[in-house]
Amino acid sequence: MDSAHGYREAMCRMIAVMRQPGALRRILVNAGMTVAVLGAGPAPGAVGLRYDVYLDTLDAARVEVRCEDCSQLPTLHALSNAAVRRLQSTTLEGWALHEKRLSPAAGQKRASYVEAFHGDGAADRVITGRSKAVLVTDPREWLWVPDSWSHERPLEVAFHLPEGIEVATPWPLVRGTDEHYTVVPWLRHMDGAVVFAPMTRRAVPLGEAVVRISVVGAAMPRADEYATWVVACARALADTFGRFPVPLTQVVVMPVARAREPVPFGHVVRGLGNTVILYIDPVATLAELQADWTLTHELSHLAHPFLGEQGRWLAEGLAGYYQNVARARSGVLTAATATANLQRSFTATAKEDDRGPIDEAGRMRTYWTGAVMALDMDIQLAAAKGRFPSLAAAMGEFARHNLPSSRAWRPDDYMAELDRLGGTRIFSTTYQRYFASTEFPPFAEAISRAADTFTRQNHSSNALD
């Protein structure tokens, strides 16, 4: 997302509307489109409640909740205001609604509720076509949960779908099942993504991690091509950071009509599990997709924790940096081309003369200040010859100990943890210097050493014992 492309900006605005808190998205896609990604993951511990989700159409879901190991159902609470609004006009069986809580009748061990996937402006037809629909939901809008929900006591969710419809989720499968998942409260305050659509699905192991890949609609004949693209980018990230940074990721590829670029937009959704959603030109060739930077940029976000709004400049800077570094490491770019890409973006940003606090900066300075800082850190780490030969090695070690994370990290806490792991002060002191700056940083000296830095990293391993 480094260009000022008008089409890309329009897509950004569209997705920003779709991602507003409590917004449910209904996306109508034409017959040629859509990919989502699935696969198995490690099943967490004992399950307290089971949710059976029944969809006869893509207009509403009936959710039956039953208690597996208790005398009666617990009280449930809503995770979003949208869930409450849609529930008030539907039939409850065995529940009484009190503000944001569902209370069961005495002795009730099984009860159900219905959530509508339309109304109150939450369902938007953002892409239209002549064929089937793809329903992208935020599970916080239909999953009511008990107060006792925790990582030690996850929920079990099973789906019962109409013929021809599959589901893509970022959740681990219960062992020995096809459509039963365990759900734990990863970043429960953030948007999540569960997709219902015609699709083919596959799970691809990357070391100890799994990337789930599904292809939807008339794009299904190209499922192997899309999988080749996604897996190559994911392997480049795994090689860059020493391992794929999180154990389970779903990637959803949404082809759009009349796109001007191979991948006009992409974003990461972290609520209740990691999802990367991509919007692609359905006629883009495999070579064009592989040459595009967007997927690598979005996957790079999985290598750092959620850093909050104050850390957006850091998050986007890291992803902008590694969309070049990882592709250079994998051979998609040469070191010289990766350097030229960064120099072009840095130069364009400097010309804007954007001044003020970095967490209030405009788009270009927000996206590229952190990339200059990342290059600066790489150069310092190489000179220090300490435990971490590169920033990627440090981020990979952090991921091994801390990702996925159930909380947002303050940027300075993230830097302090990298320092602790590496026995250094390079990360915190460099971060504070860039954070305190009120203008785009000088970059000429760092960019003059970038190609050598990338070449050296291409011939080294970031995996640590």
> How would DSSP label each residue in 39-84?
------S---EEEEEE-SSSSEEEEEEEESSSSSPPPEE-SSHHHH
Whichever domain contains 354, its CATH number is 1.10.390
Domain match, 280 and 321 both: no
Residue 465 maps to a domain: no
Cα distance between residue 246 and residue 405, in whole Å: 10
- Shared domain check, 49 and 17: yes
Taking 70 as the pLDDT cut, the residues of the chain under it are 1-47, 88-90, 118-132, 218, 458-465
Angstrom distances, CA of residue 369 to CA of 2, 150, 385, 442: 12, 37, 25, 10
What separation in angstroms does the CA of 227 have from each of 201, 263, 293, 383?
10, 15, 16, 39
Residue 297 inside a domain? The answer is yes
- The string over 322-345, giving b where at least 16 C-beta atoms fall within 10 Å of a residue's C-beta and e elsewhere, is bbbbbbbbbebbebeebbbbbbeb
Task: Tell me which residue of 441, 381, 432, 392 sits closest to 411, measured CA to CA.
Answer: 432
**Nearest Cα to Cα of residue 277 among 293, 244, 254:** 254
| 243 in a structural domain | yes
Q: Which amino acid is at 444?
A: A
User: Which pLDDT score is estimated for 218?
Assistant: 67
Q: Is the CB of residue 250 less than 8 Å from the CB of residue 170?
A: yes
Tokens 């937009």 — which residue?
Answer: 265
DSSP string covering 389-432: SSHHHHHHHHHHHH-S-SS---HHHHHHHHHHHHT-SHHHHHHH
Amino acid at 274: N
Where residue 189 falls (left for φ over 0; alpha for ψ -120 to 50; beta otherwise) is: alpha
Beta bridge partners of 248: 210
What's CA 355's distance to the chain center, in Å?
Answer: 30
Any idea what the Cα angle at residue 275 is, between residues 269 and 280, rounded to 5°? Answer: 95
Q: Letter for the amino acid at 171?
A: W
Other CB atoms within 10 A of residue 358 CB: 24
Q: Kind and range of the H or E element at 266?
A: strand 265-269
Does one domain contain both 278 and 347?
Answer: no
Q: Which of 281, 303, 325 is at the close of a domain? A: 303
Could you tell me if 288 and 316 lie in one domain? no
- Same domain membership, residue 173 and residue 41: yes
Residue range of the domain that includes 444:
312-458
For residue 209, what pLDDT is reported? 96
Phi, psi of 159 (to 5 degrees): -110, 140
Final residue of a structural domain among 303, 337, 352: 303
Same domain as 329, residue 192? no
Q: What angle do CA 39, 273, 316 make, to 5 degrees?
A: 115
Residues 6+ apart with CB under 8 A from 329: 236, 239, 240, 454, 457, 458
At 197, list the tokens.
Answer: 């659509």
pLDDT at residue 295, as a whole number:
97
On whether residue 254 sits in a domain, the answer given is yes
Tell me, yes or no, whether 157 and 21 share the same domain: yes
Asked if 202 and 321 sit in the same domain, the reply is no
Residue 31 lies in a domain: yes
Give the pair of three-digit tokens for residue 20.
Answer: 């507003």
In a domain, 463, yes or no: no
Those residues whose C-beta lies under 8 Å from the C-beta of residue 208, and which sit 6 or more positions away, are 243, 247
What is the SS3 assignment for 215? strand
The verdict on residue 1 lying in a domain is: no
Give me the residues paired with residue 135 across strands. 26, 196
- Do 219 and 316 lie in one domain? The reply is no
Task: Look at residue 188 in the predicted model and tell me its pLDDT.
Answer: 92
- Contact by Cβ (8 Å): 310, 359: yes
Number of other CB atoms surrounding residue 14 within 10 Å: 15
Contact, 35 vs 281, CB < 8 A? no
Block residue for tokens 């006869």: 56
Kindly state the helix (H) or strand (E) to which residue 451 belongs, with its residue range: helix 450-458
Total number of domains constituting the chain? 2
Is the same domain home to 338 and 286? no
Which of 236, 270, 303 is where one domain is finished? 303
Closest CA to 74 of 153, 185, 191: 153
- Cα distance between residue 284 and residue 123, in whole Å: 28
Q: Could you tell me the two tokens for 355?
A: 């001044």
Residue 113: what pLDDT? 92
Residue 88 is predicted with a pLDDT of 65
Element (H, E) at 343: helix 335-351
Q: Judge whether 226 and 219 are in contact, CB under 8 Å.
A: yes
Q: In this predicted structure, what is the pLDDT of residue 30?
A: 32
Q: Is residue 464 part of a domain?
A: no
- The answer to whether residues 325 and 266 belong to one domain is no
78 shares a domain with 190: yes
